Amino acid sequence: MKSSDKIHIELKGGIDLDKTERSGQCFRWIPDGEGFLIPAFGMLARVTESAGGIDLEVISSSKKKTSASDISEIWAKYFDALLDYSKIRNMPDKKDKFLTEAAKTGEGIRIIYQEPFETLITFIISQRKSIPAIKTSVERICETVGRRIPGTDVYDFPTPDELMKLSADELSACGLGYRAPYIHECAENFARGVLDLEYLNTLDDESLINTLMSLKGVGVKVANCTALFGYHRLDLFPIDVWIQRALETHYNGKFPLAKYHPYNGIMQQYIFAYRGKL
């Protein structure tokens, strides 16, 4: 598929692409002028901010027949188009100056609804790695599989079957370290049908987290990040060192989850964006 015409997608509450890319939820966005090139769903799309949302142009796609309306629907879901983030930014209790300021700092961040398998693998890789190192390892995996998006130098993220077929040496060469056997076993579980990505989406939050944690190398943080960013469970609140520091400093170690249900995951992103001021 060749480059398509630009599609405008309205996003309630707007978006800041740069803030969203730096929010620690996605690792494959490629800076491109005033926007980003984003590989997902077998497509490579050029995305720029536009009044009230984004303009999106599909540069190339491995999908042979995809209508403009289908493309718009796919990417609208990816950018969580229907949820009004301006209302969520106004949720913090005015007495909570920390969260109020964090929400202001996080204005424009949206939760990206990513493909679950890619989200799971990238967050397994993310443990004890810097964001540049995560990105390098992820791209090495994609290049090793070698499924290039037609007419571009960008690769699709591998399927479980493709990833399972990489040898131990090939995985190690991607800079995965101790994570290599976890990633291989994870891919094997999905490729052989031990776990099913679509079935996981039918589970409630607690069951989803517990099932993800049954995989080697998947702890509570990776499971919560996968559920939040790959299954769009917006009430989940992943905790890393930055978030834990905020909780200890401002909330006696425990965030008031009941107050911000069902959008605790978005509050977490605002706190993460505000981390330099903790």
Do 132 and 226 share a domain, yes or no? yes
- Terminal-residue alpha carbon distance, the chain: 47
CATH code of the domain covering residue 66: 3.30.310.40
107 assigned to some structural domain: no
Do 201 and 248 share a domain, yes or no? no
235 assigned to some structural domain: no
254 assigned to some structural domain: yes
260 assigned to some structural domain: yes
Catalytic pick among 65, 221, 259, 277: 221
Q: Is 221 a catalytic residue?
A: yes
Phi, psi of 216 (to 5 degrees): -60, 135
* Full strand arrangement of the beta sheet holding 53-61: 7-10, 53-61, 43-50, 35-40, 30-32
Distance CA 54, CA 43 (A): 17
Q: pLDDT value at position 222?
A: 97
Q: Which domain, by its residues, includes 271?
A: 241-277
Cβ distance 176 to 192 under 8 Å? Answer: no
- Binned average pLDDT, 10 residues per bin, the chain of 278 residues: 78 97 96 97 97 96 84 97 97 96 97 98 92 95 95 96 94 94 96 97 98 97 98 97 94 97 98 80
Do 169 and 262 share a domain, yes or no? no
Do 27 and 74 share a domain, yes or no? yes
Distance CA 7, CA 252 (A): 46
pTM for the model: 0.95
Do 142 and 61 share a domain, yes or no? no
Do 127 and 217 share a domain, yes or no? yes
Do 120 and 200 share a domain, yes or no? yes
SS3 115: coil
Q: pLDDT value at position 128?
A: 79
The secondary structure of the chain in percent helix, strand, coil, rounded to multiples of 5, reads 45, 10, 40
Q: pLDDT value at position 1?
A: 43
Do 212 and 252 share a domain, yes or no? no
Do 13 and 78 share a domain, yes or no? yes
Number of structural domains found in the chain:
3
CATH code of the domain covering residue 172: 1.10.340.30
